[in-house]
Amino acid sequence: IGRRHPYHPHLLSMLEAARLARGIHLYYLEKGFTQGTKSGPTDLVTQADRESEEAIKELLLSRFPEAGFLGEEGGSEGSKALRFIVDPLDGTVNYAHGFPFYGVSLALEAEGVIQAGVVMDTARGETFYALRGEGAYLDGRPIRVTQRAELLGSLLATGFPYDVAKDAENLIYFGRALRRGLLVRRPGAAALDLAYVAAGRLEGFWEVKLNPWDVAAGWLLVEEAGGRVTDLEGKPYRLGHRYIVATNGQIHEALLQALLSD
């Protein structure tokens, strides 16, 4: 991770685990994979989701047996004082269709505070990572959010839960944003969306009903890159909140306003 950082054994192992997961994603892309559904017909899970989570868990817990583990496919186990929060394949629907926007997200939480985060883009091979107090990086180079201050003309992203037909709240915000002429994308991998805000490729991102494994790493990336992460009311974000709004800071208030009023 270069000379800029103090030696951080957890982050080094998380980077290793991310590379391992990426290898598994690529292997099954080549070989073909079985897939099933979870909560409904569009909520997919593939062999690559399950096996990459197993591999990540084995690597991290063999190195740090005192740590707990929360993963999308395996649930929660072990200590809560120190735990890894992992989405082994974020963007499964994209993956299953060969749409190249998916990756892996790993965070380290200590006493309820995210200390390190890694988001790796499988298709592009890019690695985003952050250490609390030490900044955010893309493949070893420091990254910053953009300085753009106008909401109109900013590039934004959002996403929807698999049960969006039942929980349609974000359709209201999405509609408001589009009606204002805002530039909105729905890339399909929340961890990468957040990493893109950190790297200055998007000005902002919001979503409703994400899970801790979708956002834990990206949240730290955005804050360490100089951005702002809150709930819909502008209160500091907390893991488990229903709403997340992450921006370059400059457009934050304007985006909250735009989402909340017709």
Binding residues vs ligand IPD (CB under 6 A)? 72, 87, 90-92, 159-161, 188-190, 210, 214
> Measured from the CB of residue 66, what is the shortest distance to ligand IPD in angstroms?
27
Rule CB under 5 A: choose which of 51, 53, 87, 224 binds Ca ion: 87
Sequential DSSP letters for 45-105: EEHHHHHHHHHHHHHHHHH-TT-EEEETTTEEES-SSEEEEEEEEE-HHHHHHT-S--EEE
**109 or 214, CB closer to Ca ion?**
214
Residue number closest to ligand IPD, CB atom: 159
> Measured from the CB of residue 65, what is the shortest distance to Ca ion in angstroms?
25
Interface mask toward Ca ion for 32-71; x: CB under 5 A: ----------------------------------------
CA dihedral defined by 6, 11, 16, 17, rounded to 10 degrees? 180
> Measured from the CB of residue 134, what is the shortest distance to ligand IPD in angstroms?
26
72 binds Ca ion (CB under 5 A): yes
Q: Which two tokens stand for residue 143?
A: 């990254």
Ranges assigned E (strand) in the chain: 35-37, 44-46, 68-71, 75-77, 82-90, 103-110, 113-121, 126-131, 135-138, 141-142, 155-157, 183-185, 204-208, 228-230, 243-247
214 binds Ca ion (CB under 5 A): yes
Give 234's contacts (C-beta < 8 A, 6+ positions apart).
252, 253, 256
90 binds Ca ion (CB under 5 A): yes
Number of residues interacting with Ca ion: please give it, by CB under 5 A: 6
> Measured from the CB of residue 259, what is the shortest distance to Ca ion in angstroms?
22
Interface residue list for Ca ion (CB under 5 A): 72, 87, 89-90, 92, 214
